[in-house]
Structure 1
Amino acid sequence: MSTAPLASDPLASELPLRDLPICVAGEWRRGRGHAYDSLYPADQSVNATLHAASADDADEAIERADEALRRSGWAQARPHERAAVLHRVAAGLRERREALAQLQRRDNGKPITETRALVDSAAGTFQFFAAACETMDEELTPQRGAALTMSVHEPMGVIAAITPWNSPIASEAQKLAPALAAGNAVVLKPAEITPLLALELARVCEQAGVPRGLVSVLPGKGSVVGDRLVRHPLVQKVSFTGGTNAGRQIAHHAADKMMPVSLELGGKSPTMVLDDADLDHAVAGVLYGIFSSSGESCIAGSRLFVQRRRYAEFMDRLVAGAQALRIGDPASERTQMGPLVSAAHRETVEGFVARGLADGGRLLCGGHRPEGDGRERGFYYTPTIIEGLRNEQALCREEVFGPVLVALPFDDEDDLVAQANDSLYALAAGIWTRDYRRAWALGRAVQAGTVWINTYKQFSIATPFGGWRDSGLGREKGRLGLRQYMHQKSLYWGLNDHPLPWAA
């Protein structure tokens, strides 16, 4: 049951937003799907009332996007012309930074300091891909006969982008910006429970001059809207960030259509503390890697390996640090951890913890719902550390997506590599050591798409990101991230003076 927002909330007087419209190819109207409330995870007050998109809305958005792409000239526009629009999107996000950050805080309960960083990230993403679009070279390939050969890249058409609830505006920008820069139309499906920022991003794009119809935002269920986007014959590519099971289903449908996909999926990332590590840096980095964003992060460092001779000392310091974290009101500048996104998700996290303890794990801290300061109204959960399990047990293998860390000692680096790589996932890893040789050897031996050394959870839009195995397919970010949304074409220009000899 929903409650009233706290009087101290900066948006208390402006919410809830009633009958929030969705965006169907530039038309702002009520969705044809079920009615529901978007709730603030910190106190269960209502952010907005809206109707979800339906499969019919998805069909309309796709078909109108295809038409708009052909009519608008966006696909044929020169790169610097598209880049100018994307620069205006970046400027629009920066102009509205605080308002968007506050709305993002309400959308999924992240602390305000983090949501400001997410808005900055989204603006930087549009700026980066504007520059990448304007400066990307085509290729004149080596001549091997009587023809001039070259390779060019062209837009794909209608792109379906499906994003998760944990970092909405940043995730959405990472798909929307390169897809638009490449000359495509985009139908964006945000998570049903976090619709607010995607809709605002569409408004910013509209105001910046993205042609009408090229961007749609369809909040709704993955089983309804997402399924239709994946199956529709006019959709030329799906870019998905979310759970591995859903990603596997998308890959099956894409195979039937012979359609490319980008899948950024789950993780169970190892973070490794060697016996020569700077413990001040390592403790702070491990805490940040697992407990920032309340652990609701695909790259959370949720498996901790500490060399045995430093294990007790390190764990004492780590537990003390976890217990000192400030958990509370996301609107406060001092808050480090906000609530989990929903009651159902908190219950899932609690179930994982209960299973780990039943399997023989020992609880070092956390493992309960905090009380006081109004936190009973929200979906809060304390930072939790468990030891005493083996790497093959369920809590060490399954993605919790919450503030739960499993700690395991290791003896030597061969043992460490074997345990770190013994996972279905291969998204990220962290290494803490003063020895660059050990760091290099481990960084190359560990199987992960991203490896952080003496840091964790740092990102650059200029650096490719993605995983292996059950952590996904393809890469986002980087200059070549633009090419993920384009078809490659080869051109041969005949230079021979005489007719082809076969027909002579």
Structure 2
Amino acid sequence: MPAQPQLLDQLPPDRLYLDGRWTAPRTSTPIDVEDPATGELLGRVAAAGPEDVHEAVLAAERAFPAWAALEPGERADHLDALRAAMADRAADLAELVTAELGTPIRFSRAVQVGLPLRVLESTSALLRDPGFAAPERLGHSLVLRDPVGVVGGITPWNYPLHQAVAKIAGAFAAGCPVVLKPSGLTPLSALALADLADRAGLLPGVLNVVPGGGRVVGEALVRHPGVAMVSFTGSTTAGARVAALAGERLARVALELGGKSASVVLPGADLARAVRRTVDSCLLNAGQTCTAQTRLLVRHDRYAEAVDLAVAASQRYRPGDPTDPETRLGPLVSADHRRTVTGHIARAVHDGARLAVDGRDAAGPDGRGHYCGPTVVVDADPAAAIAQQEVFGPVLTVLPYRDEEEAVHIANGTPYGLAGAVWAEDDDTATAVARRLRTGQVDINGAPFNPVAPFGGYGHSGYGRELGPHGITEFQQLKAVQLPL
């Protein structure tokens, strides 16, 4: 495995990115970044403290008037320049994400880097559409959309580049500067993004990056009076904390939280294809995906067949070196997270479920790293923890149902509502069931992800939307101007 990704050479190891400059932090303890495939130290980055957060917010406040005053097409020019800079270093960015997260290099190239490039392109196109930017008329009122102000963006470790771009693309397009706090597990991607934005000529203060822990840096950002809105992606528990703190000062919040998505296979569907694609969704990024389809619902008379198909499909995901283009399953992000995932599996067995596939003994190609192999849980109660709680690992639970009513009841029977899938003999039948699912996105018969559709959840999966036109308006506030009759 390569000792050091090329982009690390151009990132100052002891600096934060504030106000268009690489700045020494007020703190002295760095963040150690680990390679999860080996357990070895990959690099160190500067950790921000509350004073650094304050300086970052002040820089964003100074940048706000000029950035908000730009015409939509001018902001689109900046997004295009950032996209071009990223595209020029796409291979290096993919290598960096693989190094700090452990996601297989093929997936890093196609999704971890490929998806944010598509998001920037589609957001720029929206800004250049005269119809999207035009004011709305309602009777004798002109409805304007003003940028909300400085945005505090808090992103997770599982899609470190995409989650950052999803937030800054919408915020930038709306006219808002961003103070970004990436996860301490994967801060390198965010710092590389800042470096590329700087090289692309982004105005000073429009993007500021302050790595650090949630309790110190995250809470300082959420509590700061200069932050008009917080956009948070992460766990439901942390999201509730963010909402409570922001609520103390009536700041706006958008939350994209956990999920326990169901893939509902209706009678008449192509069972083999549905199971294979559900397994693919579940094991994507080693199961560390909030939209992962981790519950497979199949009618009882085909349950045994579905289990056999799921077991067979899971065997295509053998743990391996994430830098190898043939690898489909990399490590989990950390030793702590591996213990959490294997703890969920152990509890499932304790609660009476059976493991058709048990991946807890999986190891990397050289015996190192934080690996967990594919795991298929069967004979679980739909109310059991394994069918209710987000595992965030390569664990699929297969559940039987008697009829459509029970299938919908089980699918809607968790606190979450982020994503889901329906498989049927025809799209109309699948869509009818999709309408009954209490979730923010539903894939019909294997439909692909759409980066301009609104992305967000119901219930404990949060509120607010990212991506596309809805992802821009999330960062705007309405003003009604009454015109004389």
Alignment TM class, shorter chain as reference = over 0.9
Change (3 A) 1:483 1:321: same
1:25 equivalenced with 2:41 (yes/no) = no
The C-alpha deviation readout for 1:303-341, integer Å capped at 9, x for no partner, is: 111111111112112102212323211101101010000
Change (3 A) 1:138 1:58: same
CA contact (8 A) 2:422 2:442 kept: yes
Cα separation, 1, equivalents of 2:277 and 2:317: 13
AA aligned opposite 1:342 = S
Alignment match, 2:120: 126
Alignment match, 1:253: 245
Cα separation, 2, equivalents of 1:371 and 1:44: 12
Q: For 1:105, which of 98, 117, 130 is the aligned residue?
A: 98
1:492 equivalenced with 2:485 (yes/no) = no
Cα separation, 2, equivalents of 1:14 and 1:201: 12
Cα separation, 2, equivalents of 1:372 and 1:447: 38
Q: How far off its partner does 1:18 sit?
A: 7.4
Cα separation, 1, equivalents of 2:289 and 2:352: 26
The C-alpha deviation readout for 1:405-463, integer Å capped at 9, x for no partner, is: 1111111101111111111001111112213343122111111111111116x322211
AA aligned opposite 1:415 = E
Q: How far off its partner does 1:488 sit?
A: 1.4
CA contact (8 A) 1:275 1:309 kept: no
Cα separation, 2, equivalents of 1:123 and 1:461: 10
User: Which of the pair has more CA radius of gyration?
Assistant: 1
Alignment match, 2:406: 415
1:157 equivalenced with 2:149 (yes/no) = yes
The C-alpha deviation readout for 1:260-284, integer Å capped at 9, x for no partner, is: 1110000111111223221231122
TM-score (norm 1): 0.92
Alignment match, 1:499: none
CA contact (8 A) 1:138 1:153 kept: no
1:207 equivalenced with 2:199 (yes/no) = yes
CA contact (8 A) 1:16 1:48 kept: no
Which stretch has the larger CA shift, 362-371 or 229-238? 362-371
CA contact (8 A) 2:153 2:178 kept: yes
Cα separation, 1, equivalents of 2:345 and 2:248: 39
1:139 equivalenced with 2:130 (yes/no) = no
TM-score (norm 2): 0.95
The unaligned stretches of length 5 or more in structure 1 are 1-5, 496-504
Alignment match, 2:40: 45
Q: For 1:312, which of 301, 304, 325 is the aligned residue?
A: 304
Cα separation, 2, equivalents of 1:355 and 1:389: 11
CA contact (8 A) 1:275 1:310 kept: no
CA contact (8 A) 2:12 2:22 kept: no
Cα separation, 1, equivalents of 2:369 and 2:30: 22
Cα separation, 2, equivalents of 1:100 and 1:469: 34
Cα separation, 2, equivalents of 1:492 and 1:97: 48
Change (3 A) 1:13 1:81: closer
Alignment match, 1:87: 80
- How many residue pairs get matched? 481
Cα separation, 1, equivalents of 2:417 and 2:319: 30
Which stretch has the larger CA shift, 262-271 or 283-292? 283-292
Alignment match, 2:227: 235
Deviant stretches of 4+, over 6 Å: 12-18
1:272 equivalenced with 2:264 (yes/no) = yes
Cα separation, 2, equivalents of 1:485 and 1:181: 9
- RMSD value over aligned CA atoms? 1.8
Match of 2:145, SS state, is strand
Alignment match, 2:356: 364
Cα separation, 1, equivalents of 2:88 and 2:5: 18
Match of 2:58, SS state, is helix
Within 5 Å, which residues of 2 pair with 1:391-470? 391-455=382-446, 458-470=448-460
AA aligned opposite 2:98 = R
Cα separation, 1, equivalents of 2:364 and 2:71: 58
Cα separation, 1, equivalents of 2:134 and 2:5: 48
Change (3 A) 1:372 1:446: closer
The C-alpha deviation readout for 1:79-104, integer Å capped at 9, x for no partner, is: 11111111111111111110111011
